[in-house]
Structure 1
Amino acid sequence: MAYVPNPVNIGVVYTENAAVLVDSGLDESVPRKISRLLQKPPLYLINTHSHADHCGGNAFLKKRFSTRVFAPKMEKEIIENTVFEPFYLYGAYPPNELRNKFLMAEPSAVDEVIEEGTITIESVDLEIVPLSGHSTNQIGVAVDGVLFCADAVFSEETLRKHRIFVIYNVEKFLETLDFLEKTSYSYYVPSHGEVTRDIGELVEKNRKAVENIINAVLEITVNPLSTDELMKQLFDRFEITLENLTQYILYRSTVHAYLSFLLDRKEIEREFRNNVLVWRRC
Structure 2
Amino acid sequence: MEIERLTERVSYVPNPVNIGVVHAENSSVLIDSGIDESVPRKVSRLLEKPPLYLINTHSHADHCGGNAFLKKRFSTRVLASELEKEIIEHTVLEPFYLYGAFPPEELRNKFLMAKPSKVDETLKEGPLILDGVELEIVSLSGHSPGQIGVAVDGVLFCADSVFSEESIKKHRIFVVYNVEEFLQTLNFLEKTNYNYYVPSHGKVVQDIEELVELNRKTVESVINTILDILKVPAKTEELMKSLFDRFEITLENLTQYVLYRSTVHAYLSFLLDRKEVEREFRENTLLWRRV
After superposition, the C-alpha distances for 1:111-168 in whole angstroms (9 at most, x for unaligned) are 0000000110111101000000000010000000000000000000001111111000
- The answer on 1:145 being equivalent to 2:145 is no
Equivalent residue, structure 1, for 2:171: 162
The AA in structure 1 aligned to 2:189 is L
Asked if residue 192 in structure 1 is aligned to residue 201 in structure 2, the reply is: yes
Q: Distance in 2 between matches of 1:126 and 1:73?
A: 18
1:140 aligned counterpart, secondary structure? strand
Secondary structure of 1:8's counterpart equals coil
- 1:168-207 equivalences under 5 Å are 168-207=177-216
1:74-153 aligned at under 5 Å gives the runs 74-153=83-162
- In 2, Cα distance between equivalents of 1:155 and 1:15: 29
Shift of 1:39: 1.0
* 2:265 counterpart letter in structure 1: H
**What TM-score do you get using the length of structure 2 for normalisation?**
0.97
Distance 1:38 1:216 in 2: 47
C-alpha distance in 1 between matches for 2:288 and 2:58:
31
Identify unmatched segments of 5+ residues in structure 2. Answer: 1-9
**Structure 1 partner of 2:233:** 224
Q: State the match for 2:45 in structure 1.
A: 36
| Separation in structure 1 between the aligned mates of residue 17 and residue 162 of structure 2, nearest angstrom | 13
**4+ runs deviating over 6 angstroms:** none
Q: SS of the residue aligned with 1:6?
A: coil
Hey, what's the Cα distance between the residues in 1 that align with 2:285 and 2:261?
Answer: 17
Q: Counterpart in 2 of 1:61?
A: 70
Counterparts of 1:23 and 1:3 in 2: how far apart (Å)?
A: 11
CA distance in 1, matches of 2:118, 2:168: 33
Paired residue type of 2:209: G
Runs (5+) with no aligned partner, structure 1: none
Structure 2 CA distance for aligned equivalents of residues 221 and 161 of structure 1: 25
Amino acid at match of 2:278: E
Cα RMSD (Å): 0.3
Which letter does structure 2 place at the counterpart of 1:185? Y
Matched residue, 2:284: 275
| CA distance in structure 2 between the partners assigned to 1:39 and 1:267 by the alignment | 54
- Structure 2 CA distance, aligned partners of 1:165 and 1:186? 26
SS for the counterpart of 1:2 is strand
- Structure 2 counterpart of 1:257, one-letter code: A
- How far apart, in 2, do the equivalents of 1:76 and 1:161 lie? 29
2:252 equivalent among 243, 250, 254? 243
